[in-house]
Structure 1
Amino acid sequence: MTTVRTRLTLLYAGAFVLAGVVLIALMYVYFGHALGQHAATRAAIAERLTTDFLNQPTAHAGTGQLHEALKAQFQQDRNDTLRSLLIWAMASLGIVGLGAGGLGWLLAGRALHPLQQITATARRVADRSLHERIALQGPEDEIKNLADTFDAMLERLDRSFDGQRSFVANASHELRTPLTINRTLIQVALDNPDAPRATRELGTALLEVNQRHERLIDGLLILATSDQQLTEHQPVDLADVARRVAAVSGDAARSAGVEIRTTTTTPALTAGDPVLLERLVQNLLDNAIRYNLDRHGWVSVTTGISDGHACLTVDNTGPTVPGDEIGGLFEPFRRLASTDRLTDSASAVPGRGAGLGLSIVRSVAHAHHGNVHARPRADGGLTVHVRIPASDHTTVAGQGGYPIQAM
């Protein structure tokens, strides 16, 4: 794949060589015509001098041969001169063409340097934050206008993301506070030993609804924040996280009659936010337990390193999943309508989920520059494969971490 600089260099050098070839052709035609006339003039002068010298040109049979020999010599001189001119011109064109190519390379690099600066800044912005600007200095030309437009776009994006982060923080407080108050009031009412049975049943139902709303808000907030730039970049071992989450989810799995199988002996080191990565594993395992077989079901959790990526694979038995519905599972609030859940994870309250589990998994994976893919198993259930760029850190975070609530 050629770069713009290479194409511009070839364009400059090609234009120069083409112009040189045209110039040489014109010079060759001009000098050929001029030398032809010059040879004819010299032949006529030689013939006249010979005639004057001999005084009787018709008496000497060798005079005509002498004239023809002189003309042939003059023509030969003309051809030799043109051949030398052409060889010299083509050699000079080749040497100067190489120099023009080198000069074109330098000029193209100088002309494209502002674009390289724009590209480098765009890459840093994509990898780090939106606070950096190009601030290109130079004449008001097309490249300067492009850089200024890019800076203006970054400014708008920066304000937009700042506003979104501010909204998430405010929404976290404004939405959680009344729900926390409601939960406290309901729990106080349920703790009253004199409360009638109908009140207790109503309070229990309201408490479950309130807790589901809390989980929904938590899931939406995590979904919003995981799409932002990561604030934590710590070494994390996905194998250690998977073992810990599997241990915490063991009670829920046993109550659903699901066996958890782990193959996590190989470290899978990566870097990122340990809390978000733990949520990713928790949601995958929670989803695999909830949507499984009603008996003799199992969940397999495997970690490892492959092609420079830390990999996590979660397989589970369960109902058959249509292949054309796989993509929709990672969209918020999307569920398989025909699938019934068996149980809830240890960190979730009973009741229907918010439908954010796999969408949070995808957002967390993308926030860590990774990806997630799912495919249906031939015998029913799903295989979900997560790949995140690996890290070579030897000290990993997450030891002694805590399980987080799944959606």
Structure 2
Amino acid sequence: MKTPLTLRARLTLVYGALFLVAGMMLIGVSYLLFNQELTRLFDNKYGSGRVLRLHTQGAVLTLGQAQQLMEDQQRLLEQQELDLRAAAVTSLLVQGTVAVVVVGGAAIGLGWIISGRVLAPLHRVTATARRIAAAPMAERGLHERIALVGRQDEVKELADTFDTMVERLDHSFDGQRRFVANASHELRTPLTLNRALVELAMHRRTASPDVKQLGESLLEINARHERLISGLLLLARAEHEIADRSPVDLADVVSHVVSQVAAEAEAENVTVREQAFPAPTNGDAMLLERLVLNLVENGIRHNVDDGTGWVRVTSRTVAGGQVTVTVSNTGPAVPPYDVLELFKPFRRLNADRLVTGKSAGLGLSIVRSVALAHGGDVVARPRDGGGLEVTAYLPPARPRPEVFTGRGDDLG
């Protein structure tokens, strides 16, 4: 497939072609005018009047000698005219064409430089749009602005319009995040009150078995709503870039999470296997713990129920310096085309789980948001025989800058 020419190259070629065509036309017109003027000059200066004068001055000659002399002069004049025309062709057409080609090459080079300067603002617009599009999440790059300075022309108008559009999108996403966070905070209070009232009604001495059973159902629904709200809060927080980062070894996080989920894994009759190799990174320790916890809990809850299920958690540093956390598990078969859907909020393979499950449908969405907020990514693939293998990639730990204390030992 041929690579299309850039706009700069096309403008340069058009400019150079127009210059060459105009130069050749100018040479052609100049030659025609010169040829016409040369013909008129020879006709006026060496026409019939000159021949008559020769005839008068040559009265002492014989008629044959006069005619011979006139023919010789005429041939000499014609030869001079031909030589002059040949010199004009050489000078105007050949040398002029060479000159036009040379100057045209210089014009093409100058056109390339000028078109580059003219298109430089467009390159800036393109570069900004590319940075926004390459952001891990759409709203992450919306703080970028072109802020083009210069005369008010078509390019600046385009840049200003682009900045206005991005600013409105930025405000829209920011307002959406604030709404989710504020709504989640406001919903926590009534849910806490509901739980307290239900527990109070259940623990009365006069409470009937039906009231206690109803209370247990209400508490389960209330707990599911609390998990949903907590997940929304965490998701809203994770969608912001992590500014304050501290050293975190994912091996420690993995070990802590495995011990934390031991009771749940035992209740689900699932074996959790740990391979915690050193994997130092920088980030928010609480969010990274939530990333690993969500992956492990997802592997435990969506597993087989025949007692043979397992979850394997591995942390390591891979080639290139990146650190990874990989969680693989047995479980139901996952179609490859449904894997990406699992990372979207409230998306499940089985719609019934949304109502009766223990999670709120935000686990993998939070995992992806946390990874992206730390400058990493998440990749998932179905396992042969059922289950998933999910790997979170995170950047390696940056060395901490040495602090100068002012003591002599700092100087070595």
Partner of 1:111: 118
Deviation, 1:175, is 0.6
Residue by residue over 1:96-128, the C-alpha shift from the partner in whole angstroms, topping out at 9 and shown as x without a partner, is 334433443444344334445545665777766
Residue by residue over 1:263-304, the C-alpha shift from the partner in whole angstroms, topping out at 9 and shown as x without a partner, is 5536364x5544334323322222122222333333334444
- TM-score, normalised relative to structure 1: 0.74
Which residues of 2 match residues 48-63 of structure 1 at below 5 A?
A: 48=51, 52=55, 55-56=61-62, 58-59=64-65
Q: 1:135 to 1:197 in 2, by over 3 A?
A: same
Partner of 1:215: 227
Which residue of 9, 18, 23 maps to 1:20?
23
Deviation, 1:6, is 4.2
Deviation, 1:160, is 2.4
AA aligned to 1:86 is L
1:153 & 1:290 partners in 2: Cα distance? Answer: 43
Partner of 1:359: 365
1:215 & 1:18 partners in 2: Cα distance? Answer: 74
Q: How many residues align?
A: 385
RMSD over equivalenced CA pairs, Å = 4.2
Contact preservation (8 Å) 1:234, 1:273: yes
1:39 & 1:267 partners in 2: Cα distance? Answer: 97
SS at structure 1 position matched to 2:339: helix
Greater C-alpha Rg? 2
AA aligned to 2:103 is V
2:295 & 2:396 partners in 1: Cα distance? Answer: 22
Partner of 1:384: 390
Structure 2, gaps ≥5 residues long? 402-412
Partner of 1:286: 297
Partner of 1:93: 100
Contact preservation (8 Å) 1:301, 1:312: yes
AA aligned to 2:378 is V
1:65 & 1:9 partners in 2: Cα distance? Answer: 56
Deviation, 1:393, is 0.8
SS at structure 2 position matched to 1:375: strand
Which residues of 2 match residues 181-192 of structure 1 at below 5 A?
A: 181-187=193-199
Which residue of 161, 171, 180 maps to 1:159?
171
2:78 & 2:245 partners in 1: Cα distance? Answer: 92
AA aligned to 1:16 is F
Structure 1, gaps ≥5 residues long? 342-349, 397-407
Q: 1:240 to 1:91 in 2, by over 3 A?
A: farther
Q: 1:4 to 1:313 in 2, by over 3 A?
A: farther
Asked if residue 394 in structure 1 is aligned to residue 396 in structure 2, the reply is: no
- TM-score, normalised relative to structure 2: 0.73
Partner of 1:76: 83
Deviation, 1:374, is 3.0
SS at structure 2 position matched to 1:299: strand
Deviation, 1:354, is 1.8
Answer with 100-109 or 327-336: which moved more.
Answer: 100-109
Q: 1:305 to 1:57 in 2, by over 3 A?
A: farther
1:241 & 1:3 partners in 2: Cα distance? Answer: 50
Contact preservation (8 Å) 2:16, 2:111: yes
Percent of aligned pairs with the same residue?
Answer: 46
